Amino acid sequence: MKFTIDRDTLQKRLTNVQGAVDRHPQLPILMNLLVQAKDGTLFFTGTDLELEIETSVALDEIETGSVTVPARKFIDICNALPEQAIVDFNLDDDKVVVSSGRSRFTLSTMDSSQFPTVDEIGDATSFTVSATAFKGLLTRTRFAMANQDVRYYLNGMLLDIAPQRIRAVATDGHRLALSQIQTVTGVDEAKSVIVPRKGIGEISRLIGSREGEIGIRVGSNAIAIDIEDIRFTSKLIEGRYPDYGRVIPDASKCDKKIKVDRQTFRQCLERVAVLSRDKARAVWMNFGSGILKFKTEETVEREVAEDEMEIDYDGPEFKIGFNIGYILDSLSEIQDDHVDIFLTDATSSCLIQPHDDTDSQYVVMPMRI
């Protein structure tokens, strides 16, 4: 096996697959990348058994073969080489020699036949979608996913795919984020799957600033996404996702609707957050006629932060407590100048959404401060 490639092209491919390499693997070979040359195309593959990333590039001169090399070392070598350098890759018995100019590196290898790959998706639902729109969908909701929750189905994102739209939902049990895009998927009937947290992060990273269409295939136990010369595959989380529709307050039944300037609201929260460094990050919000007042709980040093802002509200005065971080996370994903806040009482969940826009909704449970 032998090929020559320019450093920048190689670096781009290695960067694409590095997210799938397991730093603390169950099997030593999972620390390696699979390098394959066949039919004039060079393939790089990384996997951690749960997800797999494969990328390819066509080369004019290439010797057929396959091998696995230490991923981290190979990537570091490529990064250390000067831009536009020419890289020679040569498999010699059980060693790989990577050379460029006066630099020469000899790497150990492992048998490529032992490299595990994610099973090919069989009967799958397939469609295409705008890369920009799909990444935006994930970005607006991914922050609400749980992390290492015993309720394993919360450690991922629900993708609810219908014939005319795709909806993403994430929750950690304390807050919920929902967003949807209107797009023709062509599916015959609605299909819901749970994509693991790591998989969502890798999809967003791989799409990056790419435009155009991406291809998505959803099977019974895996999802595959084709992004230009990249194929991403991830196993799905088995389990029943919570009925998120029951969690989201019905805006029409909430007797308190408050319209606020998003930037002013966010700045007030950021200021009072300076003195809410405890784990709960609690803040009281006191809604009054035309005024919203903020106040943190007194710290052990007897320190308190207070602030206020004008709001569009003329209902009865009431007070409710929240985790500041949960509110700020939601506001960070809303781009509108104004947001609508829907409330019923101090013990009911709060609904936050862009002004007069229901495609993105954020739910935060109140705190008992």
What pLDDT does 323 receive?
94
What's the CA gap between 275 and 270, in Å, rounded? 10
Whether residue 277 has pLDDT greater than 80: no
Same domain, 349 and 272: yes
pLDDT band at 302 (very low <50, low <70, confident <90, very high): confident
Give residue 280's pLDDT band: very low, low, confident or very high (50, 70, 90): confident
| Other Cβ atoms within 10 Å of 143 Cβ, number | 17
Query: What integer best gives the mean pLDDT of the chain?
Result: 94
Indicate whether 85 and 130 sit together in one domain.
no
- The first and second tokens of residue 80, run together, are 């250390």
Q: What is the DSSP letter of 349?
A: P
What pLDDT is recorded for position 356? 83
Q: What percent of the chain has pLDDT over 70?
A: 99
213 is a domain residue: yes
Is 369 part of a structural domain of the chain? no
Cα 71 from Cα 144, distance rounded (Å): 31
Q: Which two tokens stand for residue 283?
A: 């803040």
Residue 139 pLDDT: 97
The pLDDT, as a whole number, for residue 168 is 98
Look at residues 197, 230, 245 and tell me which one is the last residue of a structural domain: 245
Residues 283 and 235 in one domain: no
Residue 269 lies in a domain: yes
* Residue 369 banded pLDDT, cuts 50, 70, 90: low
Whether 62 and 11 share a structural domain = yes
Tokens of 45: 């593959």
31 is a domain residue = yes
231 and 329 together in one domain: no
Strands (E), 71-164: 86-92, 95-100, 103-108, 125-130, 156-162
pLDDT of residue 23: 80
Of the residues 85, 114, 143, the one at which a domain ends: 114
Rounded to whole angstroms, the maximal C-alpha distance in the chain is 80
Distance of CA 130 to the CA centre of its chain: 16
Task: Flag whether pLDDT at 346 surpasses 80.
Answer: yes
Q: Which two tokens stand for residue 43?
A: 């393939």
Range of the domain at 90: 2-114
Q: Is residue 120 part of a domain?
A: no
Considering only CA atoms, which of 298, 258, 248, 257 is closest in space to residue 276?
298
Orientation angle between helical segments 71-80 and 7-17, nearest 10 degrees: 140
Question: Could you tell me if residue 210 is inside a domain?
Answer: yes
Count of the separate structural domains present in the chain = 3
3-state helix, strand, coil in the chain (%, to 5): 25, 40, 35
Radius of gyration in angstroms for the set of CA atoms belonging to the chain, rounded to a whole number: 25
Q: Does residue 201 lie within any of the structural domains? A: yes
Say if residues 179 and 142 touch (Cβ distance below 8 Å).
no
Looking at residue 363, what DSSP letter applies?
E
Q: How does DSSP classify residue 18?
A: G
Tell me if 111 sits within 8 A of 176, measured CB to CB.
no
- Do 225 and 195 have their domain in common? yes
Q: How much is the average pLDDT of 219-244?
A: 94
Record the tokens describing residue 247, joined without a space: 């969690």
Q: CA separation (Å) from 142 to 59, 146, 156, 232, 286?
A: 37, 9, 8, 18, 29
- The CATH number of the domain holding residue 38 is 3.10.150.10
Angle at CA of residue 85, ends 79 and 91, nearest 5° = 80
Average pLDDT, integer, range 149-171: 96
For the question of whether the overall pTM of this predicted structure is more than 0.75, the answer is yes
Q: Which residues have a Cβ under 8 Å from the Cβ of 222 and sit 6 or more positions away?
A: 118, 119, 121, 233, 234, 235, 236
Residues 6 or more apart whose CB falls under 8 angstroms from that of 330 comprise 175, 177, 352, 362, 364
Please check whether residues 217 and 267 belong to one and the same domain. no
DSSP for residue 114? G
- State residue 324's pLDDT score: 95
Residues 160 and 180 in one domain: yes
pLDDT of 212 above 80: yes
Tell me, yes or no, whether 129 and 241 share the same domain: yes
The answer to the question of residue 119 being in a domain is no
Given pLDDT bands bounded at 50, 70 and 90, which one contains residue 300?
confident
Residues 133 and 239 in one domain: yes
240 and 258, same domain (yes or no): no
Is residue 278 predicted with pLDDT exceeding 80? no
Q: Across 118-199, where does the E strand assignment appear?
A: 125-130, 156-162, 165-171, 175-182, 191-196
Q: Are residues 275 and 349 in the same domain?
A: yes
- Domain limit, last residue, from 55, 85, 114: 114
